């Protein structure tokens, strides 16, 4: 069977692009550690506020420029709804909800997770520039959904 030169060129190009795509996915998953968000743990929504670390929401200094922010997302507020960290900090947000499904998206970063009853959501962001980084609930959760927001103040 004779294959036109142009046709052969595009067949080879298409095959190369496929291979390139698969290699890209493999590098992303195996080398760069890219993965879909998965629950960092389980927690009973009924006893959330008495279960550590959610019995004491807020910011913890882990040392070395690392922080953990334990945040409860509830209808319709984040608790706490503001944290302050120095420039260059890496903050791991640990989130859970006692009621319905909420979301958490942090502007200026790629932090974006669902906060689902029964699951602990965790996402990490680094703050190299001073400023205010707004976070919002991005999952419609009822009457006061639009009031669910907070911010990271980086100084």
Spatial CB neighbours of 74, under 8 Å, sequence gap ≥ 6? 97, 98, 99, 102
Q: CA 91, 46, 135 angle in degrees (round to 5)?
A: 30
By CB under 6 A, residue 113 contacts ligand CUA: no
The nearest distance, CB 118 to ligand CUA, in angstroms, is 16
Contact 138, 111 (CB under 8 A): no
The residue within the footprint of ligand CUA, chosen from 102, 106, 116, 154 (CB under 6 A), is: 102
Contact 39, 120 (CB under 8 A): yes
By CB under 6 A, residue 139 contacts ligand CUA: yes
By CB under 6 A, residue 99 contacts ligand CUA: no
Q: Alpha-carbon distance 146 to 106, whole Å?
A: 15
Site string for ligand CUA, 67-96 (x = CB under 6 A): ------x--x--------------------
Q: Alpha-carbon distance 13 to 55, whole Å?
A: 57
Q: Number of residues in contact with ligand CUA, rule: CB under 6 A? A: 9
The nearest distance, CB 102 to ligand CUA, in angstroms, is 4
By CB under 6 A, residue 114 contacts ligand CUA: no
3-class state of residue 98 by DSSP: coil
The binding site for ligand CUA (CB under 6 A) comprises: 73, 76, 102, 137, 139-141, 145, 148
């Amino acid at each position: 069977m004779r294959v036109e030169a142009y046709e052969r060129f595009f067949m080879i190009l298409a095959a190369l692009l496929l291979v390139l795509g698969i290699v890209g996915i493999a590098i992303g998953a195996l080398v760069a550690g890219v993965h879909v968000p998965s629950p960092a743990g389980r927690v009973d929504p009924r006893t959330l506020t008495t279960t550590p670390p959610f019995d004491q929401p807020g910011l913890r200094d882990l040392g070395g420029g690392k922080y953990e922010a334990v945040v409860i997302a509830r209808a319709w507020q984040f608790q706490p709804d503001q944290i302050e960290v120095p420039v260059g900090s890496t903050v791991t947000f640990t989130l859970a909800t006692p009621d319905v499904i909420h979301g958490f998206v942090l502007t200026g970063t790629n932090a974006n997770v669902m906060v689902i009853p029964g699951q602990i959501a965790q996402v990490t962001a680094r703050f190299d520039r001073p400023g205010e980084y707004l976070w919002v609930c991005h999952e419609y959760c009822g009457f006061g959904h639009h009031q669910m927001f907070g911010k990271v103040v980086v100084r």
